Structure formats: structure tokens, C-alpha cells
A and B are shown apart, each in its own frame.
Chain A
Amino acid sequence: MEVLPTLWFILIAVLWIGYLVLDGFDLGIGMLMKVWAKNESQRRVLLNSIGPVWDGNEVWLVTAAGATFAAFPHWYASMFAGLYIPLTLALLALILRAVSIEYRGKSHSQIARNLWTWAMAGGSFVAAFTIGAMLALTTTGLPLNEYGDRVGGPFAWLNGWAILGGLAVVGISLAQGWAFLTLKTLGAPRAAGNRQLRRYLPLYFLPAASWAIMVVMRYPKVSAWAMLTIAALGLAVAWLASGRRKEGLTFTGMVVFIVFGVGAIFTALFPNVLPSTINEAYNLTVATASSSDYTLTIMAIVTAVFFPLVLAYSVWSYWVFRQRLGEQHIPESVVVTPV
């Protein structure tokens, strides 16, 4: 077994899982700003609940991309070129969404605020859906030729897996969003989150669970099934806990599901990183897609030093902003007029 490429495959899986757990609730809350929030002050509670942390969460995605480039340049090249259209959509959505977070509160007119709310909600939805679609496709494959280049035109990637993966990440994000609101807010959003999870928690995770089960059935491995079992237990605990309003336990159970469910998908995929749907011989694997051992070693050392630091100060930022937010905490919106 190739030790270093395998280590890097695990690290990239960790980055994706971290992204889904953390930015998951940012994306979900973004959608809920349109779907659930009924008035301006509720929207602002939602937005500010993720205000200090969303940007750091998004860096998990950037790091996943950068780490893929560094550790598996062929995976990076084949996946992003092959998924050109959905990746473009994801980037457009992420751009609109990021800017809306900062600019929404700086706009003066109701029309502008509404437009930014749409940008936030629509951007979050499209980003979640396309990222999910792309993640699903890297597990089930693209029509790649012997050079790793996609054949069959701009939409050759489009299939049921893309839809399922898209729904999976939208579902995960919404559930994470609700759970985060139960932990971070007071009043209406917290109550709504508890109610939603108590009633519909399994429904939110249905697409993700189907995706995980189908991928593991496609590439069966004992370890992957074991992880799926743990994921299922996490989900069961989360649902039971949600019925008893144990908010922390619900969230923890959901995180267990995401960690082990997505972990099972990556475990099943291994040693492939991006299969070819044309010919198995063209599959990109940890061995064929990876960088040299020298590069992987340097990267591993840097990661060993800095990743724990990142985790430490990220945890500290959540600690600083641990206070629950309610409508009473939101200051009046600022109107800037010329002096």
C-alpha cells in the first residue's frame, strides 16, 4: 500500500467532512433565511448566528481544493475540468453568498436587503447542491479517457448520482442549520429547529444515507459497512435526542453521521479517487493521481504542525462567540449618511 498517498487521501476526506459539518450549517442557515425566517429581525438573528465563523468555515473548502491540487494534481485537474459547469455554478453561488453576508446589513433600502436575502438563500442552495453533486460524482466516476480528460461534452457528468449527491448535501446543510440554531439562538429559531429535527430529522438525511449506502454497495468493504453502521447509530441517537430536546446530543449524533457516513463513502472509494465510467483501467487512484513522495512528505509535515493550530484557534473562536443570540441582542440596523 502506498503510505503517503493513502495518508493524503484520508486528510482530504477529513477536509471534506470538516467542510460539510461546519459550512453545512452556514449553507443551511443561508437557505433558512428565505425559507423559514418571517421578518427582518429573525433574518438578522440567523445571519449573525454564523456571522463571526462562516468565513473560517469556508476555508475548509478552499483547503480541500488546495490540498487536492498539491497531493493529487491529476484528481484536481480531471475533476475540476470534467465538472466545469457545476463548479462554475458553485463558484458563482459562493461569491454571491459571501458578498451578501457582508453587504446585506450595509444596504439601506428594503429592496436591496431582499435581493441580498435571495442571493444568500439562493447562493447557499446552489452551492450546497452543486458541491454535493460534484462530491457524489467523484465517488461514482466521470467519463474519463486514458489521459483523465472528460469526454462527451459539457453535460456528460449529469446523471442520477449528481442529483442524489446534490440533494444529500442540501439535506445535510438544512439539518445542520436547524441544529446549529438550536444551539446558538434563543426563541423562535431555536424552537423551530427543535420542532423540525424532532419531526423530520431522518428525512433530511435520507438522500445522504442513500448515497452512502449505494456507494458502499457499489464498492463493498467490511470497513465501509462498519462505518456506515456507526453512522446509522449516530443518526438514531440524534433522532432520539431530538425528541427529548437534548440539543447538544442531537447535534453530536448528526456530526457522527456525517463523519462516518462520508467516511464510509471515501473508504469505499479507496484506492480510487476518481473512477472512469468508460474503462476501469482509466480510473484515477491514490497511486496514479498523487504527487511525489517528497512533496507529500513536506506537505504532511506542514500539516502536522499547522492543522492542530487551526483547530485550536477555530475552537477558540466558537468559544468566544458561545453566547446564544436572540432578537433582543440585535442592534438597530445602521444607516450611514454623509456627515
Chain B
Amino acid sequence: MDPLEVARWQFGITTVYHFLMVPLTIGLGIVLVAMQTAWHRTGKEQYLRMTKFWGKIFMINFIMGVATGLVQEFQFGMAWSEYSRFVGDVFGAPLAMEALIAFFLESVFIGIWVFGWGRVRPRIHLTVLWLAVAGSVVSAYFILAANAFMQHPVGIEYVDGRAQMVDFWAVMTNPTLLIHFPHTIFGALAVAGSMLLGIGWYHLWKRRKEGIDTVDDNGYVVVGTTGSKARDEVDYKGWRSSFRWGGWIAIVAFLGTAFTGHTQAQMMIQQQPLKMAAAEAACHDGTGFSVLSVASRDSDGATTCDDVVGVFEIPGLLSFLAHNDFTTPVEGVNSLIPKYQEAYGTHLPDDPRYGERAGSEIEYLPIMEVTYWGFRLMITFGGVAAAAAAFGLWIGRKGTVPHDTTLMNMAWLSILAPFAANSAGWVFTEMGRQPFTVAPNPDPTGVDQVWQFTAAAVSPGVTGQEIVFSLIALTLIYALLLVVEVVLLVRYTKGGHPAGMPELLADEHNDDEDKPSSDVLAFAY
């Protein structure tokens, strides 16, 4: 087993998996803050119900983010010890600060929030949630600072074969980071928005299906009730708010990702031109954005750049994306690769640290199928989510959704789109960075001598079997836990507001007798 290949698969799987939980934690966290603040300000009960319901969904997901995040803190050292040694001076700092500044804040205050209902004063309880979610958002900033360094190293000097930090401020204000961060936060809000919209849709649909809500002749909702608190008018208001909030959040988030993504692409052409060319499968310099390109396979079955045939492209769009005009050509793979070879060599150094790969030719072109489709899937899924949101807001403008199961199922499914967009975006940007772990900074005034090939980053002492063991074990346990998480999310979703407030059901059949004494915890595991 080639440790490098296995280690890359492991890092990819564990990180993409971790990032299924992360955007939901961040996005839903921000939404929870808004909900509880709305309740605190207005005193309207639907906001309390929303806070409690979405709080449960949040926690089911949050814990998975915590658990899988543990692996992230350690695995750089495990399979990537040469990487850790090379960049530790600069890369470790944001990780350590993330733990000290963000994780403690997040973890301590989320514990107080979950168990603190009725235990601390409402204003304090709200502040506690603000702090916990601030922790999540700040953690994103730190970890993206670390990632931005890999895409665009700044604030460093090359000393004794290692990257040494000389300007912490530069690392924390890396232009790549400053645009990475809002892009990621909008991406997280897109996930939360679609979730609110989809689940809100489901419950509005269910109320119609059960005949609780009806519509008048003009199609406007007539809100009904079953007499149970679980299905009263407040219940309706809560789902309508979730639904509408979700729609608007999803649309704003999409616009935000599009706008920041555009800026990112322009930056990428400066910082990592080959990544952008590979994202376009563009062999030759050009101005058109490829909507569809296919590879004609040569006799070996291998795809080379010149086998790629553009099927349909929008003239000028690529130039617009890159340079904000329609005529300046964007460099293609064929003109870039010689530049890379000149700057960073044609062959890996003949150094034992590169193992079997020492002296072999460097393949500068990332796997184009991955970059090309990763880029497009990210945009497509983002667009699908936004379109679903716009459609939902329009169709729900009269206060409820149609009594139509197919539409409802599509709304359910659209929850997945922003998750897919997030994953595709990360796969694109990380795979597109290959063959480097730390991509060289081409800025002549910047630091152009610090870069590292992925082939040189893996742990020299660790055997392939060890990494295979951890890969299999982690993948199995992750797969199992994903099933459990989804089962719980679906169960709590179907449980509706009472899943977060069991007392909504309890009130139906008992009087004061059974009323829990104040000694009993409001919440317990």
C-alpha cells in the first residue's frame, strides 16, 4: 500500500465528512441566535418553539461535528508529519488559537445553554448562546486562516528548510482568508436556510394534509387547530416563520456565495493559475467559460489536456470572471505548465525524504475531471438550492404550501443541495491545489520560495498498513454514525415543535398534579 495515496484518501474522507456537520453548526447556530433573540425581544411563543425545536436539531448535529473535529486536530501529525514539521511554526498557531479562543467558548457555553433553561436568567441564557455561536464562527476564521496559508502562504520566511512565521498579522489578514471566510459563512447559511425551508415546508404540508390548515378561494391560508398545543395556531406560525426565514436566508446566502466566489476566482487566477485553468479544463489561453467539455479518450485510456473538447461555452464569460472584462484571455494549462516547471522544477528532488517518488517527474496538472466537475457541481448545487428557495417563497406567499406530496419530497431533497455544494467546493479547492500541500505564492513581492509537494508531506515512518487500518476504522464508524444521525434528525424533524418542547404534549392529558416539580431538570440526557 502506498502510504501517500491512502493518507490522501483518509484526509479527504474525514475532512469532507467533518464538513457536512460544520456548515450546519455554523449556519444553524447563527439562525438559533436570531430565533432566541426574537423571542427575547417580542415574547412571541412561536419563536420560543422554534428555538427549542431547532436547538434539538442543532445539538444532534453539533455533537457529530465535535466528535469528527477531534480527528482533525491530530491527523496532521499522524499521517502528515513532514508537513507538520515544515509548516508547524506558522500553521500550528491558528490551530492552537482556534482551540483556546473558539473551542473553549463554544463548548463551555453550549453546555450552559443546553442545561441552562430556567437555571440562568433569560437574558444571560441568550448571551450564553451568542457566545457559543460566536465561538463557532471564530473557529471558522482560524481554521480558514490555516487553510488560506496552504493556498497562499504569506507572513513567512524560508529558514533552514522550513516555513518560519515573521508576520502574524499578515497570516491572519491573508487576502485569501478574507474572502475565504465570508464565502464559507455564506455557504454555511445556505445549508441552514435550505434546512429551515425544507423542514418548514414539510410541517406546513403535513398540516394541510391532515386538514388542519385549509385555503380560501383566493388560495390564502386559513389556519386551523386540532385543539392540541402541538397543532395550534402558534405551531403554524412557527413553521411559517421557519419556512420563510429559510427561504430568505438561502437566497441571501446564495447571492453572498456567488459574489464572494467571483472575487475568489479572480484571486485564484493570480494565486493559483493552474487550479483555475484546470477548473476550466482549459488547455489554451481563452476567454470563454466552458459549460460542458468532454474528454476524448486516447488509446491508452488516459486523458491528457489536449484531448479535452469544449462542447459548449459562453464567450467572454471566463474573462469576465477572471478580469471583469470580456476580452483579456485567461492562461490555459499549456502555457502555465512550462512556467511551473521553470519555477519549481520538472522532477522531484532526488532526496530520500521523497521515498520511492524521489526524482520522478512532477505532474503539475490537478486531476481535471475533479476540478472541472467539482467547480461546476458546487455552482449547480448552490443554484439548485437558491432556485428551490425562490420557488418556495413564491409558492408559499399566501401563507402555506400546496397539498402536494411530490413538491414536498422535492423540498425535502433540496435540503441536500447546499451540503453537496459545500463538499464539491472543498474537493475542488483542495484537489485543485495539488500537487502541492502548500501552494507556492507567485507574488513577486511575497514569499515565493515556500512551497511543499504533497509527495514530501506524508509521514516517513508510518506504514501503509497503519493508515489503511485507520482509514477503514474511521470510514466504518463514520458511515455508521451518519446513519444514526440521519435517523435522529428525521425522528426529531417529524416530532415537530413538541420534539423540542415535550410539555406541549404533556399538557393535554394532565392537570397540575403531574406538573414537574421545580427540582426536576428542564433537560437531561
| Interface residue ranges, A against B (CB under 8 Å) | 44, 47-48, 51-56, 58-59, 61-63, 65-74, 76-82, 84-85, 87-88, 91-92, 94-96, 98-99, 101-106, 145, 147-151, 153-154, 291-292, 294-295, 298-299, 302-303, 306-307, 310, 313-314, 317, 320-321, 325, 328-331, 334, 336-339
Q: From B162, which residue of chain A is reached at the shortest CB distance?
A: A73
Supposing A102-B525, A154-B466 touch, asked if A91 and B96 sit within 8 A by C-beta, the answer is no
In the complex, the chain A residue whose C-beta lies closest to that of B231 is A339
Q: Interface extent on B, as a size class?
A: 35 or more
Which residues from chain B contact A71 at a C-beta distance below 8 Å? 92, 96
A313 touches B109 (CB 8 A): yes
Q: Does B455 contact A (CB under 8 A)?
A: no
A81 touches B463 (CB 8 A): no
Q: Which residues of A contact B84 (CB under 8 A)?
A: 69, 73, 76-77, 80
Contact B88 A77 (CB under 8 A): yes
State which of B100, B168, B460, B522 has its C-beta within 8 Å of the C-beta of A66: B100
Contact indicator A149/B81 (Cβ below 8 Å): yes
Residue among B81, B101, B116 with the highest chain A CB neighbour number at 10 A: B81
Among B115, B469, B520, point to the contact of A85 (Cβ < 8 A).
B469
Q: Given A81-B459, A88-B78, does the pair A295, B165 have CB atoms closer than 8 Å?
A: yes
User: Which of B71, B85, B119 interacts with A95 by CB under 8 Å?
Assistant: B71
B78 touching A99, Cβ below 8 Å: no
Question: CB-CB < 8 A to B465: which residues of A?
Answer: 154
Q: How far is the CA of A92 from the CA of B203 in the complex (A)?
A: 37
Determine whether the beta carbon of B520 is less than 8 Å from that of A88.
Answer: no
Q: Are B502 and A334 in contact (CB under 8 A)?
A: yes
- Report how far A83 CA is from B206 CA in the complex, Å: 53
B88 nearest CB neighbor, chain A only: A73
Contact with A along B416-454 (1 / 0, CB 8 A): 000000000000000000000000000000000000000
Name A63's contact: one of B93, B103, B353 (CB within 8 Å).
B103
Count CB-based A-B contacts (< 8 Å): 282
Q: Are A55 and B111 in contact (CB under 8 A)?
A: yes
| Extra contacts besides A67-B99, A91-B70 (4): CB < 8 Å | A106-B488, A150-B462, A291-B165, A331-B520
In the assembled complex, which residues on chain B have CB atoms less than 8 Å from the CB atom of A321?
A: 112, 115, 119
- Cβ distance B403 to chain A, nearest Cβ, rounded Å: 17
Would you mind naming 19 contact pairs between A and B with Cβ atoms under 8 Å apart? A51-B114, A52-B111, A53-B108, A63-B100, A65-B74, A66-B95, A84-B470, A91-B70, A103-B488, A106-B488, A145-B461, A147-B353, A295-B90, A295-B93, A298-B93, A299-B96, A303-B100, A314-B108, A339-B498
The yes or no answer to B494 lying at the interface (CB within 8 A) is: yes
Does B1 lie at the interface of the complex (its beta carbon under 8 Å from any beta carbon of A)? no
Contact A56 B107 (CB under 8 A): yes
Interface residues of B in 495-523 (CB under 8 A from A): 495-499, 502, 516, 519-523
A337 to B230, alpha carbons, bound, how many Å?
11
Q: How far is the CB of A74 from chain B (nearest CB, A)?
A: 6
Please determine whether A317 and B78 come into contact, CB atoms closer than 8 angstroms: no
Residues of A close to B120: CB separation below 8 A: 320
CB contacts (< 8 Å) of B231 on chain A: these are: 339
B104 touches A80 (CB 8 A): no
Tell me, yes or no, whether B44 is within 8 Å of chain A by CB. Answer: no
What CA separation (Å) do A53 and B77 show in the bound complex? 28
CB distance from B456 to the nearest CB of A (A): 13
Q: B466 near A320 (CB under 8 angstroms)?
A: no
- How far, in angstroms, from A105 to B481 measured CA to CA in the complex? 16
B73 within 8 A of A: yes
Q: Are B520 and A320 in contact (CB under 8 A)?
A: no
**In the bound complex, do residue B474 and residue A47 qualify as a contact, i.e. CB atoms below 8 Å apart?**
no
- Among B74, B101, B206, which residue has its beta carbon within 8 angstroms of that of A302? B101
Chain B residues within 8 Å of A320, by CB: 112, 116, 119-120
Select which of B74, B104, B466 is within 8 A of A56 by beta carbon: B104
Check B97 for interface membership: any CB of A closer than 8 A: yes
Distance to closest chain A CB from B95 (angstroms): 5
Partner of B477, one of A80, A92, A148, A325: A92
Q: Does B76 belong to the interface (CB within 8 Å)?
A: yes
Q: A56-B108, A88-B469 are in contact. Are A73 and B63 (CB under 8 A)?
A: no
> Given A85-B469, A92-B473 in contact, is the A67-B89 Cβ separation under 8 Å?
no
Q: Would B111 and A53 count as touching, CB distance under 8 A?
A: yes
Pick from B71, B164, B497: contact of A292, CB below 8 A. Answer: B164
> Which chain B positions have C-beta within 8 A of A101?
63, 525
Top 8 closest pairs, chain A to chain B, by CB: A73-B88, A80-B77, A70-B92, A149-B461, A69-B92, A77-B81, A66-B96, A70-B96
Q: Which residues of B contact A149 (CB under 8 A)?
A: 81, 459-461
B311 at the interface (CB under 8 A from A): no
Instruction: Give Cα A337–Cα B498 distance, bound, in whole angstroms.
Output: 9
C-alpha spacing A154/B494, complex, angstroms: 47
Chain B neighbourhood of A47, CB < 8 A: 525
Which A residues are CB-close (under 8 A) to B59? Answer: 102
Q: Which of B67, B81, B97, B492 contacts A94 (CB 8 A)?
A: B67
A85→B484 CA distance, assembly (Å): 26
B98 in contact (CB, < 8 A):
yes
Q: How far is the CA of A169 from the CA of B159 in the complex (A)?
A: 40
Of A59, A62, A70, A105, which is within 8 A of B525 by CB? A105
Q: Do A62 and B103 have beta carbons less than 8 Å apart?
A: yes
Other-chain residue from B66, B79, B100, B110 in contact with A81 (beta carbon distance below 8 A): B79
In angstroms, Cα B107 to Cα A52, docked, is: 9
Is the C-beta of B337 less than 8 angstroms from some C-beta in chain A? no
Q: How far is the CA of A99 from the CA of B97 in the complex (A)?
A: 25
List the A side residues contacting B525 at CB < 8 Å.
44, 47-48, 51, 101-102, 104-105
Q: Is A62 a contact partner of B495 (Cβ separation < 8 A)? A: no
Contact check, B107 vs A59: say whether CB atoms are below 8 A apart: yes
Query: Is A55 touching B166 in the complex (CB atoms < 8 A)?
Result: no
Query: Are the C-beta atoms of B81 and A62 separated by less than 8 Å?
Result: no
- Given that A53-B111, A67-B99, A310-B104 are contacting pairs, would A330 and B521 also be in contact in the complex, using a CB cutoff of 8 Å? yes
- A87 CB to closest chain B CB, in angstroms? 6
Residues of chain B within 8 A (CB-CB) of A67 are 96, 99-100
Q: Which residues of B contact A336 (CB under 8 A)?
A: 491-492, 494-495, 498-499
Q: In the complex the two chains form, is A74's CB within 8 Å of B85's CB?
A: yes
Cross-chain contact B88 with A98 (CB below 8 angstroms): no
**B477→A96 contact, CB < 8 A:** yes
A292: chain B residues within 8 A (beta carbon): 89, 159, 164-165
Q: How far is the CB of A212 from chain B (nearest CB, A)?
A: 25
A80: B residues at CB distance < 8 A: 74, 76-78, 81, 84
Question: In the complex, what's the smallest C-beta–C-beta distance from B230 to chain A, in angstroms?
Answer: 5
Partner of B524, one of A74, A103, A298, A330: A330
> Are A317 and B88 touching (Cβ within 8 A)?
no
**Do A85 and B88 have beta carbons less than 8 Å apart?**
no
Q: How far is the CA of A72 from the CA of B88 in the complex (A)?
A: 8
